[in-house]
């Protein structure tokens, strides 16, 4: 039997506000344990929360960017559970009146574009960090993260494969980064998700019973967790048994999920309205103000790159999900470069360099002017394409312009016909076998000879001039 995978994701994103959600403690990553805390965020009795308006603004921004309806009335609720990372023994979250509902995000799949529904987006506070030190046999708790603002984005069960889940996560990340509400640094835990997976026989209308994997903190982890759960559930069904609704813990190192609790043991969070915070009435004027402040979103950028720059959909898609790349492309084109040439450099050598340096597309140290200059140097014949590739790493290292690097390193392209003819003759002398072959009718040694000339000039010879002079010199044989 063939099975279809059904996935719904709950994504938690830390918001990059200056201060926490209910107090004025600094909101930033790292630092010594328990140094960014106050009586409010460590939950001392008698303290009162004050809602940070920026958190609501960022939540609305995210909602608008994901095509949601923004609530006119919204409130905050207490979600009760007992665990050392949560000193109040409740998390302030939102239950029945979330900030945003009924949205969607468009993803690219191999069968074209697809809408993934957004059930809701709500605001809530993060908990602290509780860690165990097995060597010293003690547990430590750090409340720096307690009270850090989060949005939780809940998707509809519209996702049908781990590849679609990955595309959805990428789309959400690029939107959140683009609108500036979260830095989405996975390695710092600012984007995490719970993965809900079920399978059903192809053609069946009803959904199967799902499991929920907690503790997924990378996109690749989400993909692996989905593939693992799919296989696990299919195996259960094939054996004639039934999948149980349960909460599981994803262990990325082990590449497996483990049972945390079954449906019977499901948490009862005893939600009730947070009595220390007023409900929110969100004026339509404010929502419109926020809507107008939204920047050009990734899918809008993609459409513009295709329509205005004539770039292929593939290039446009890859560049538009990165703010850094989009800006580099716009600036390079603004400085006179052809869009496709700019795109080729961005997705080629520049991406390669970024990967090798383990930096992100936002950290490219030069701008569009430098890239446009590099492209112009090739087009003017000052340097060859292969020399240009050699210069890219230098552009990451120093703030010299491409032209300055070319001059400093003596990499000017050799276009002098006489000089190249001389090198060709030397190559002929050094390769008598190839010349014999040529005379014997093997005209394909031309490529070999061109390569030898390039080698002799360390890639600096102008390919067009080599071609022309090679024809002349071969003709003389």
Q: Site residues (CB under 5 A) for Zn ion? A: 23, 25, 38, 40-41
Task: Answer whether 180's CB lies under 8 Å from 20's CB.
Answer: no
Smallest CA-to-CA distance from 147 within 246, 34, 280 is with 34
In the block, tokens 């009595």 appear at 275
Q: Which residues pair with 90 in a beta bridge?
A: 80
We find the least distance from the C-beta atom of residue 90 to Zn ion, in angstroms, to be 16
Q: Rounded to 10 degrees, what is the CA torsion of 28, 33, 38, 41?
A: 70
* Residue 154 interacts with which of ligand ADP, Zn ion, none, CB < 5 to 8 Å by class: ligand ADP
From 6-14, 324-332, 420-428, 447-455, span contacting ligand ADP (CB under 6 A):
6-14
Residue 403 is a binding residue for ligand ADP (CB under 6 A): no
Output the six-digit token pair for 354. 């970024």
Contacts for 142 with CB less than 8 Å, ≥ 6 apart? 33, 34, 128, 129, 131
CA distances from 290 to 71, 256, 321, 451 (A): 14, 42, 22, 58
The residue from 7, 42, 193, 222 that contacts ligand ADP (CB under 6 A) is 7
* Residue 6 interacts with which of ligand ADP, Zn ion, none, CB < 5 to 8 Å by class: ligand ADP
Contacts for 193 with CB less than 8 Å, ≥ 6 apart? 9, 10, 11, 12, 169, 216, 217, 222
Task: Answer whether 122's CB lies under 8 Å from 91's CB.
Answer: no
* Residue 7 interacts with which of Zn ion, ligand ADP, none, CB < 5 to 8 Å by class: ligand ADP
* Residue 25 interacts with which of ligand ADP, Zn ion, none, CB < 5 to 8 Å by class: Zn ion
We find the least distance from the C-beta atom of residue 86 to Zn ion, in angstroms, to be 14
Burial (0-12, 13-18, 19+ Cβ within 10 Å), 60: buried
CB-wise, 127 or 165, nearer to ligand ADP? Answer: 165
Residue 180 is a binding residue for ligand ADP (CB under 6 A): no
We find the least distance from the C-beta atom of residue 224 to ligand ADP, in angstroms, to be 17
From 5-13, 72-80, 161-169, 378-386, span contacting ligand ADP (CB under 6 A):
5-13
Task: Answer whether 250's CB lies under 8 Å from 216's CB.
Answer: yes
The residue from 91, 162, 174, 198 that contacts ligand ADP (CB under 6 A) is 198
* Residue 155 interacts with which of Zn ion, ligand ADP, none, CB < 5 to 8 Å by class: ligand ADP
Residue 243 is a binding residue for ligand ADP (CB under 6 A): no
We find the least distance from the C-beta atom of residue 123 to ligand ADP, in angstroms, to be 16
CB-wise, 165 or 377, nearer to ligand ADP? Answer: 165
Residue 463 is a binding residue for ligand ADP (CB under 6 A): no
We find the least distance from the C-beta atom of residue 154 to Zn ion, in angstroms, to be 27
We find the least distance from the C-beta atom of residue 109 to ligand ADP, in angstroms, to be 17
Residue 157 is a binding residue for ligand ADP (CB under 6 A): yes
CA distances from 123 to 92, 106, 151, 360 (A): 9, 22, 5, 28
Q: What does the DSSP assignment read for 26-79? A: B--S--STT-S--TTTTT-TT------HHHHHHHHHHHHHTTPEEPSEE--EEE
Which positions touch ligand ADP (CB under 6 A)? Answer: 6-10, 154-157, 196-198, 207-208, 210
């Amino acid at each position: 039997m063939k099975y279809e995978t059904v996935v719904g994701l709950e994504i938690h994103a830390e918001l990059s506000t200056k201060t926490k959600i209910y107090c004025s403690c600094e909101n930033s990553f790292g630092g010594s344990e328990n140094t960014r805390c106050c009586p409010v965020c460590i939950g001392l009795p008698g303290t009162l929360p004050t809602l940070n308006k920026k958190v609501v603004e960022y939540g609305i921004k995210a909602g608008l960017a994901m095509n949601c309806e923004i609530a006119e009335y919204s409130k905050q609720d207490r979600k009760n559970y007992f665990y050392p990372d949560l000193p109040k023994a409740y998390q302030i979250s939102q239950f029945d009146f979330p900030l945003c509902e009924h949205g969607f995000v468009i993803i690219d799949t191999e069968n074209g574009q697809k809408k993934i529904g957004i059930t809701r987006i709500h605001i809530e506070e993060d908990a602290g960090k509780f860690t165990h030190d097995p060597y010293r046999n003690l547990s430590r708790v750090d409340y720096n993260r307690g009270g850090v603002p989060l949005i939780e984005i809940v998707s509809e069960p519209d996702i049908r494969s781990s590849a679609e889940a990955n595309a959805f996560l990428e789309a959400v990340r690029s939107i959140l980064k683009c609108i500036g509400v979260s830095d989405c640094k996975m390695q710092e835990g600012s984007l995490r998700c719970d993965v809900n997976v079920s399978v059903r026989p192809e053609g069946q209308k009803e959904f199967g019973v799902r499991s929920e994997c907690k503790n997924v903190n990378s996109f690749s982890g989400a993909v692996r967790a989905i593939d693992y759960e799919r296989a696990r559930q299919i195996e259960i069904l094939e054996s004639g048994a039934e999948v149980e609704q349960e909460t599981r813990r994803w262990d990325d190192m082990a590449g497996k999920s483990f049972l945390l609790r079954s449906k019977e043991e499901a948490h009862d969070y005893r939600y009730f309205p947070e009595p220390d915070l007023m409900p929110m009435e969100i004026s339509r004027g404010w929502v419109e103000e926020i809507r107008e402040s939204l920047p050009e979103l990734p899918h809008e950028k993609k459409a513009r790159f295709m329509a205005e720059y004539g770039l292929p959909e593939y290039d446009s898609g890859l560049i538009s999900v990165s703010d850094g790349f989009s800006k580099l492309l716009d600036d390079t084109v603004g400085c006179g470069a052809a869009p496709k040439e700019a795109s080729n450099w961005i997705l080629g050598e520049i991406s390669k360099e970024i990967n090798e340096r383990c930096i992100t597309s936002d950290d490219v140290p030069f701008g569009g002017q430098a890239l446009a200059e590099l492209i112009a140097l090739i087009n003017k014949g000052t340097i060859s394409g292969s020399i240009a590739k050699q210069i890219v790493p230098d552009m990451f290292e120093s703030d010299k312009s491409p032209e300055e690097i070319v001059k400093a390193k003596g990499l000017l392209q050799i276009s002098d016909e006489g000089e190249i003819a001389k090198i060709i003759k030397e190559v002929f002398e050094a390769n008598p076998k190839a010349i014999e072959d040529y005379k014997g009718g093997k005209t394909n040694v031309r490529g070999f000879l061109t390569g030898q000339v390039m080698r002799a000039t360390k890639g600096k010879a102008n390919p067009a001039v080599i071609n022309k002079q090679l024809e002349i010199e071969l003709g003389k044989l």
